[in-house]
């Protein structure tokens, strides 16, 4: 067994899982680990640009796809109905991981929203998950007046996600923005996991730049700002479109921090990685949760609780941008109070190495 080889299994539906994994991978490589990655979709695009930068080998997996309703929105019931297709993908990925383990004998496997586990169990290889489903579950029952539309997705997906990690993983690294306790000893609470070049420099003065960065998944929100005029530049990341005066579309960008760091405010979907980076950058935030998605609703409510932004919908995006710029100084004052240490990736790497050392 290669005592320093680690396999990452990263969900490739959006970019968030990949950026979070890579932040940890960078620290592991600095400690002497050799890291291979299995992913799909957007994750494959992200990591293909990282080969030679800490990624030893990149392997494509089959991709899970969540179900949509007739309007294109996330549907927990449609996802459940596609169980046979999901099972076929799961079986194929199990075979791929089993073959990899037989040939490479990694010392440990890190998963991020991927659910293959039998090859690791049969080979006695520890499983570490990057997952904060314990926070999602406890927060769901804590928040009052939740929309009924998020209940199906919570009970059919998020709750089972929590139970899976509670039962299957050896350790679960749980990044979070709140101060709640972890659920038992298996879940290890760490600060937000963000990329190395994320900065927390507070901007001052008039608004010069806004950034709209939306999920790369098929459920990410649309942008329709044509006909709207703002007295500042707006850069749109993650969407193609026709550039207009003061409005620039950049498509999918793997390396986007040079645009994010100079922004006076961010408009984002409510994936935890995007929210974490926005908070650690201390940017005022407009958060648009994917409809019917319990975790994204909870993440958006946390942003509101911190006072650094507010929840909105894609339909009222233009009005929300006007609101946040009119109150920009109030939100900047709240952002000054955010003192998150950007040490989550480093702490995660220490947990992973401690498990490797314990197994020797």
pLDDT value for 170? 96
209-336 has which CATH code? 3.40.50.2000
Q: Do domains 2-194+342-359 and 209-336 have the same CATH topology?
A: yes
**CA 34/CA 29 separation, integer angstroms:** 6
Fold of 2-194+342-359: Rossmann fold (3.40.50)
Residues in Cβ contact with 175 at an 8 Å cutoff, skipping those fewer than 6 apart = 20, 130, 132, 190, 191, 192, 193, 272, 276, 344, 348
Distance of alpha carbon 70 from alpha carbon 42, whole angstroms: 24
In order of 62, 131, 141, the CA distances from 137 in angstroms are 28, 12, 7
* Residue 205 DSSP label: S
Which pLDDT does position 241 carry in this prediction?
Answer: 82
pLDDT at 215: 73
CB within 8 Å of 326: residues ≥ 6 apart: none
pLDDT along the chain (360 residues), means of 10: 85 89 95 95 90 90 68 57 76 96 96 96 96 94 93 93 96 87 85 88 91 70 76 90 87 87 94 93 95 94 95 92 96 86 89 83
pLDDT score at 251: 86
pLDDT of residue 63: 80
Pairing status of strand 309-311 against strand 285-288: parallel
Residue 357 burial (10 A CB sphere; 0-12, 13-18, 19+): exposed
What is the reported pTM? Answer: 0.89
> Which tokens hold the place of 298?
């909870």
What is residue 326's predicted lDDT score, i.e. its pLDDT?
A: 95
Domain boundaries, the chain: 2-194+342-359, 209-336
- Cβ neighbors of 214 (< 8 A, separation 6 or more) are 220, 221, 223, 236, 237, 238, 239, 267, 268, 269, 288
């Amino acid at each position: 067994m290669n005592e320093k080889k680690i396999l990452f299994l990263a969900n490739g539906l959006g970019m968030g899982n990949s950026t979070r994994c890579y932040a940890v991978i960078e620290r592991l490589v600095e400690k002497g680990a050799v890291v291979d990655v299995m992913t799909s979709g957007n994750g494959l695009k992200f990591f293909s640009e990282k080969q030679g930068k800490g990624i030893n080998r990149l392997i494509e997996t089959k991709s899970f796809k969540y179900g949509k309703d007739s309007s294109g929105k996330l549907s927990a019931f449609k996802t459940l109905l596609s169980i046979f297709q999901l099972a076929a993908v799961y079986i194929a990925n199990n075979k791929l991981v089993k073959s990899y383990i037989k040939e490479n004998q990694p010392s440990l496997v890190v998963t991020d929203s991927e659910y293959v586990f039998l090859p690791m169990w049969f080979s006695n290889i520890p499983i570490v998950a990057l997952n904060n489903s314990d926070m999602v579950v406890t927060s769901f029952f804590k928040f009052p007046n939740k929309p009924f539309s998020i209940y199906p997705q919570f009970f059919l997906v998020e709750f089972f996600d929590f139970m899976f990690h509670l039962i299957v993983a050896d350790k679960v690294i749980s990044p979070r923005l709140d101060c709640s306790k972890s659920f038992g000893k298996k879940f290890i609470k760490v600060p937000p996991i963000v990329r190395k070049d994320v900065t927390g420099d507070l901007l001052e003065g008039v608004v010069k730049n806004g950034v709209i960065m939306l999920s790369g998944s098929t459920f990410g929100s649309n942008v329709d700002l044509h006909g709207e005029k703002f007295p500042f530049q707006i850069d749109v990341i993650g969407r193609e479109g026709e550039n207009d005066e003061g409005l620039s579309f950049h498509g999918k960008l793997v390396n986007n921090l040079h645009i994010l760091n100079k922004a006076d405010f961010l408009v984002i979907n409510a994936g935890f990685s995007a929210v974490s980076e926005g908070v650690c950058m201390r940017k005022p935030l407009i958060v648009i949760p994917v409809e019917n998605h319990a975790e994204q609703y909870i993440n958006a409510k946390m942003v509101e609780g911190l006072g650094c932004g507010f929840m909105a919908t894609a339909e009222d995006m233009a009005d929300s941008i006007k609101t946040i710029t009119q109150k920009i100084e109030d939100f900047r004052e709240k952002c000054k109070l955010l003192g998150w240490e950007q040490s989550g990736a480093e702490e995660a790497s220490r947990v992973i190495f401690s498990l490797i050392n314990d197994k020797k």
